[in-house]
Amino acid sequence: MKHPFVWLAAGRRGSVLASLVFVCVVLMIALSVIGNGLTMKAQGVACGVYNIELPWSPERAASVVAAWRDGKQLGAAIEQTRLDFLFLMIYPATLSLACVVSSGRCFGTIATVGIVLSWAVLLCTPLDFIENILILKMLGGDIQAPVPQLTSSVALAKLFLGGSAVVYLVFANILKKRHR
C-alpha cells in the first residue's frame, strides 16, 4: 500500500520527521504562550481554547467570547487562531510521516493501519482550517447557530483523526519494543 511520503527516500524520513517535530514543538510553545491568558474561569465558565473549539451551542460560545472580551483577551485569542493557520500545515504532516515511519517498523495489519492513518490524518489540515475560520467568525461576534455546532463538529473530527494517529504511534512503538 502506498503512503503520502513515497517521494521521500526512506533514509531521509527520520531526519525530516525530526525537523518537523522540532517545528511542531516550537509552534506549540508559541501557541501555548499566546494562549496562556486564555485559560481562565469567568463567572463560573471555563474559557480555554478547547472551550471555543468545542462550544456546541451559541450560548456557550457567547459566554467564552464575552469572558475573553471582558478580560481583554480577545486579541490574544485572535492572534492564537491566526498562528494556528501555520501550525495546521505542520502537525498533520508530522503525524502522517510518523505513522509512515512507524508502519515501516511493523508488519501485517499494524503496518496497514499506519499507512491508512498516514493518509487520514492529513484531513486534519482542511478540518482545522475550517475550524479556525469558524472560530474567527465567533470571535468577531457571529455566534448564531449553526456556527458553534459546525465548529464543534469539525474540531471533534480533527481531534479524532489526530488522536487516532497518536494512539497508533504509541501502540506501534510499544509493539516494536516487545518484538526486539
* 3-class DSSP state of 25: helix
**Percentage of the chain modeled with pLDDT above 90:** 81
Residue 56 is predicted with a pLDDT of 96
Please compute the mean of the pLDDT values over residues 104-126 and round it to a whole number.
Answer: 96
What is the chain's mean pLDDT, rounded? Answer: 93
Position of cell 480555554?
48
* 3-class DSSP state of 57: coil
Residue 179 pLDDT greater than 70, yes or no: no
Please compute the mean of the pLDDT values over residues 8-26 and round it to a whole number.
Answer: 97
Q: For 52, which DSSP code? A: H
* 3-class DSSP state of 18: helix
Residue 19 pLDDT greater than 90, yes or no: yes
Residue 176 is predicted with a pLDDT of 73
Residue 37 is predicted with a pLDDT of 76
Residue 93 pLDDT greater than 80, yes or no: yes
Q: Which helix (H) or strand (E) holds 45?
A: strand 45-46
Identify the bridge partners of residue 42 per DSSP, sorted by sequence position: 45
CB distance 99 to 169 below 8 Å = yes
Domain boundaries, the chain: 10-178
43-81 residue pLDDT tens: 666 777 889 999 999 999 999 999 999 888 999 999 999
> Positive or negative CA dihedral for 58, 143, 91, 74?
negative
Residue 48 is predicted with a pLDDT of 78
131-176 residue pLDDT tens: 999 999 999 999 999 999 999 999 999 999 999 999 999 999 887 7
